[in-house]
Amino acid sequence: MSITRICCIGAGYVGGPTMAVIAKKCPHIKVTVVDLNEQRIAAWNDPDVNNIPVYEPGLSEVVAEARGRNLFFSTDVEAAIDEAQMIFISVNTPTKTYGAGKGQAADLKWIELCARQIARVAKDDKIIVEKSTLPVRTASAIRDIITHTGSGVHFQILSNPEFLAEGTAMEDLDAPDRVLIGGDSTPEGQVAVKALVEVYANWIPQERILTTNVWSSELSKLTANAFLAQRVSSINSLTELCEKTEADISEVARAIGTDSRIGPKFLKASVGFGGSCFQKDILNLVYIARSYGLQETADYWEQVIIMNDHQKKRFANQMIKNLYNTVNGKKIAFLGWAFKKDTNDTRESAAIYVADHLLYEQADISVYDPKVPERQVYADLDYLVSRSPEENKKGVKVVEDPYEACKDAHAIAVLTEWEEFKNYDWQRIYDSMLKPAKIFDGRNLLDAEKLRAIGFQVRSIGSTL
């Protein structure tokens, strides 16, 4: 079966970039990305590709090349479903905020709605590809919905989880470590797997395309993110000990990272991990383990989240302690709001929770991030419902100039590892701040010795003043 028409439901951080790269690499395939969010689709279709809704280095160039040729963005979901041979589901699967599994289980509402819409619209056989991060055995739920329509249409369900790191997503899509495809062992299932393999084989070596059963593929995504997050929490768990013993976490990380059995990746101490995947996937894994009565397994993985939450609170409390136990009425400059550099994604960003803690202590916060707009900062704070939107706007000012953010500040908190922060005129910033001028480097980004030479008091995660 040769695929020439693909539809992707969901035009977010996964669907948009993934489909853009497929369209670029497979000019013989028509790729249509659909979403009910009219504003988002309008942004993807903006003549100025720099205004597309997802910031990812290299993405705008790929969209500019393929859009209008074989890459299309539309709100006509039903037409795209009807036309497609292969349908990717790439919608949000947030952690449930209600009912059974609240706070841990994935909310599959949008997945179910997609399945029902596909079942209602489809007039011929379709291959449905799970691209969203889903709990194991979700494919069986999708199959149950779509195979009881009575329409006579046959569906094959594949699992094809994404392994993108925001900020390097285009590199990850262009030359991935692996592509994972899970499908049924039936002859029909293997035909569907082969069809998707052939799509990726247009640019990815066959040895990097792994095929498994559906359940292994679904569980592999959750556990991959859990293992990565575990490394972050493991190194962060040592930062407090380093601060007490006068060890330096950067030196400890370098020492253990040279062990070939461990390796250096994901051993950089920080204020904590964020993003849409790590916390959500670990909580989902915890929920699944508990649902099968595996209490010790659930407790083990839940500790990764507990340590991450502790690190964010500890960072905020350190700031308060080092500002003479009060931040009431003091201006704190935040450099960075995105959860990591080279993305405008703020989901679960550590900055949100540090800001929330400091606002509770009545600090005045000034935020600068090169890619996150003002409306997103306030939306993130309003979502926490700790205060009213009016109180958030009173306590937080979002500015477009880092020097303005730092002017007359008592302290600076570095909360995203944007490379541009290293190159600022730090003497100018020091001269504009109230003394003693303090920097709390939550990302171990800046050269502390050079800043101390200027006159700053610098505290980096995992090192002493």
**265-286 exposure pattern, b = at least 16 Cβ within 10 A, e = fewer:** ebbbbbbbbbbbbbbbbbbbbb
Biggest alpha carbon distance in the chain?
75
The yes-or-no answer on residue 7 being catalytic is: no
Cα separation, 103 vs 105, whole angstroms: 6
Map residue 394 onto helix, strand or coil: helix
- Active site residue: 8, 26, 242, 277, which one? 277
Q: Residue 233 and residue 309: Cα distance in Å, rounded?
A: 10
Tokens of 252: 């400890």
Q: Dihedral, CA atoms, 400, 402, 407, 410, nearest 10 degrees? A: 120
Give the residue among 341, 398, 385, 392 at the shortest CA–CA distance from 363.
Answer: 392
CB 52 within 8 A of CB 15: no
Q: Are 136 and 218 in contact (CB under 8 A)?
A: yes
How many Å apart are CA 195 and CA 188, to the nearest integer?
11
Task: Please classify residue 445 by burial: count the beta carbons closer than 10 Å to its beta carbon, then call 0-12 exposed, 13-18 middle and 19+ buried.
Answer: buried
Cα–Cα distance for residue pair 302/300, rounded to 1 Å: 6
One-letter amino acid for residue 129 of the chain: V
Total residue count of the chain as it appears in this document: 465
Rounded CA separation 267/230 (Å): 10
Name residues whose C-beta falls within 8 Å of residue 260's C-beta, 6 or more positions apart in sequence.
none
Sign of CA dihedral 10, 183, 106, 274: negative
Look up residue 35 and give its two tokens.
Answer: 């979403």
Q: Are 312 and 353 in contact, with CB atoms under 8 Å apart?
A: yes
Catalytic machinery residues: 277
